[in-house]
Amino acid sequence: YGPRYKFGYDFTPTIVSQALIIHPINDQNTFQQIFTFYIRLKQEKQYLENNTSLKKLINRKTYGIFLSEVTFDVSRDVFYQKIDVRWRSYLEQAVRSYIEKTRMSWRQRSFNWTLVNGKFVFGYYRIMPTYGLEVIVEVLLTAYSVSIYPTKVAFTQQRFRMNQPFTNKHRFDYREITDIKTNENIYQLNLIVISHNKDEALIRLINNYENEVLNYPFRHEHFTLTILYFSQKNQTTNRIANLINDLSVRYMSIIRISIINQNQTSYNRGLGRQLASQLFTSNQLLFFLDADLLFTGQALDSTRRLMIHQLSISSCAVYFPIIFSVFSNISVVHNNSIINVNSKNGLFSIYGFGNVAVRKKDLDKIGGWETNNHDWGMEDVNLYHRFSDPSSECYVFRAVEPGLKHYYHKKMCNGIANKAREKMCLDADAILIGSQMDMINYLFSNTNLTI
């Protein structure tokens, strides 16, 4: 914040000075004509940008893309958040500095006006995946006439938009997020997995946890695993329960399982996650994971350190990692435990919000998980929207995490009553069948196909 961060230098008294424009045009009609010309140029520019047919085609491809294309919608998917007190303090200081310098300059030049007041009105920011940080700040300036009677007052309220790219350097400047050397459970990251009719995936996740956490003693005090299992009372259930219980005996404080009889409580993921969250105290860190997730120990370490750091500088913070979704076995061989992150093997799911790290009391503050959603999906999107609402006063962080990979599985879209959600399910399934190049090669190699 402020001079310690590069972005702080962008908001200077020089930029604030643009809020007050003194021009020599006294004739109102002339000024109106200039302004009309400016508006027309702006409209023409927007018209050219919105009509792609008017642009020259460059590097046109010889084939068409028939898969659902993920389009990043700024108005729908990126939300403004309030500038916190440290940013506000720095901005107010910049405005005050501008007021003092301008007042002194006007006094030396014997202006008929004096700038008497200026204040920071409001400010918002958002992270744009396309280029970086965007900040909107509004400033109100007040000026009085000095030698004119009666005294006149002029107000100007100006809104500034400032953009800062993520980096324009070949080498990053960074500050190390130091690890917390303590056994307190508020610094543990508690993994929570809800499982229903995904026994194979759950066994894979347990083995993954054993390989990445249990085999490394230094991670034992940093992570726990809680599994809420909706059982159907069959042989597979007993096999999973025995597997987890065996690990629980060996690692008593690290792994636990809660089994819910599905005959008594019908399954929905939001309800399961809400029930699991009640097993923890208000200050503990929770990391809700899909049962189909593959993770590295380094990704868990990074998530834990990130949450500890964010909560040390913010009253509320939540992390929705952007995970790598692996394509189906039509395109990717899944028998290899190491799946490289590239466009041939999968894609990063910008619209995936099912994996989230949050402090328990921050989750409770916004009402917890949606528990009455018995249809497909949306309980995680609902949670993201509530955290993103400015009224939550919570810092929402998103970043690409290559160490979190979603293992492909066929989505069960049949029987979804809500047609809109059924379409969402089908689209989500189709986009992970394979890469565009795989689909094109498939068509070219199967000449008997009729389209």
Positive or negative, the CA dihedral 120, 122, 126, 131 is negative
- Where does the pLDDT of residue 179 fall: very low under 50, low under 70, confident under 90, or very high at 90 and above? low
Minimal CA–CA distance to 356: which of 412, 317, 327? 317
- Where does the pLDDT of residue 268 fall: very low under 50, low under 70, confident under 90, or very high at 90 and above? confident
Among 167-181, 183-197, 296-310, which is the least confidently predicted range? Answer: 167-181
Q: Could you state, in order of their start, the residue ranges of all structural domains in the chain?
A: 1-22+77-166, 186-445
* 126, burial (CB in 10 Å: exposed 0-12, middle 13-18, buried 19+): middle
Q: What is the pLDDT of residue 263?
A: 62
State the pairing for strand pair 223-231/132-145. Answer: unpaired
Q: CATH number for 186-445: choose from 1.20.140.10, 3.40.50.300, 3.40.190.80, 3.90.550.10.
A: 3.90.550.10
Residues of the chain above pLDDT 70, percent: 72
CB atoms inside a 10 Å sphere around CB 160: 17
Determine the angle formed by the axes of helices 199-209 and 235-250, rounding to 10 degrees. Answer: 10
- Tell me how far apart the alpha carbons of residues 47 and 246 are, in angstroms, rounded to a whole number: 66
- Give Cα 255 distance to the centre of its chain: 29
**Mean pLDDT, range 92-100, rounded to an integer:** 80
- Where does the pLDDT of residue 72 fall: very low under 50, low under 70, confident under 90, or very high at 90 and above? very low
Q: Which two tokens stand for residue 307?
A: 């949450």
Alpha helices in 231-351 (DSSP H): 235-250, 269-277, 297-313
Q: Which two tokens stand for residue 26?
A: 């006294």
Contact 307, 321 (CB under 8 A): no
Mean pLDDT of the chain: 76
Q: What is the pLDDT of residue 267?
A: 77
Q: What is the pLDDT of residue 273?
A: 92
* 406 pLDDT above the threshold of 70: yes
Q: What is the pLDDT of residue 338?
A: 65
Q: What is the pLDDT of residue 255?
A: 83
Among 173-187, 281-295, 415-429, which is the least confidently predicted range? Answer: 173-187
Q: What is the pLDDT of residues 353-387, one digit of tens each?
A: 889 999 999 999 999 998 887 777 778 888 998 99
- Where does the pLDDT of residue 172 fall: very low under 50, low under 70, confident under 90, or very high at 90 and above? very low
* 292 phi, psi to nearest 5 deg: -90, 10
* 55 pLDDT above the threshold of 60: no
**117/385: higher pLDDT:** 385
Distances (CA, A) of 352 to 62, 289, 324, 375, 429: 31, 12, 10, 17, 13
**303/392: higher pLDDT:** 303
Q: What is the pLDDT of residue 60?
A: 40
* 124, burial (CB in 10 Å: exposed 0-12, middle 13-18, buried 19+): middle
Buried residues in 293-321 as b, exposed as e (16+ CB within 10 A): bbbbbebbbbbbbbbbebbeebebbbbbb
- Where does the pLDDT of residue 245 fall: very low under 50, low under 70, confident under 90, or very high at 90 and above? confident
Q: What is the pLDDT of residue 71?
A: 45
Residues of the chain above pLDDT 90, percent: 18
- Tell me how far apart the alpha carbons of residues 87 and 378 are, in angstroms, rounded to a whole number: 33
CB atoms inside a 10 Å sphere around CB 179: 13
* 311 pLDDT above the threshold of 70: yes
139 SS3 class: strand
* 347, burial (CB in 10 Å: exposed 0-12, middle 13-18, buried 19+): middle
* 219 pLDDT above the threshold of 80: yes
Q: Which two tokens stand for residue 13?
A: 């008294």
Q: What is the pLDDT of residue 237?
A: 58
- Give Cα 350 distance to the centre of its chain: 8
**92/270: higher pLDDT:** 270
- Where does the pLDDT of residue 65 fall: very low under 50, low under 70, confident under 90, or very high at 90 and above? very low
Q: What is the pLDDT of residue 334?
A: 54
**338/139: higher pLDDT:** 139
Q: What is the pLDDT of residues 20-42, one digit of tens each?
A: 555 555 566 666 777 777 787 78
Residue found by looking up tokens 């003693």 in the block: 217
* 181 pLDDT above the threshold of 60: no
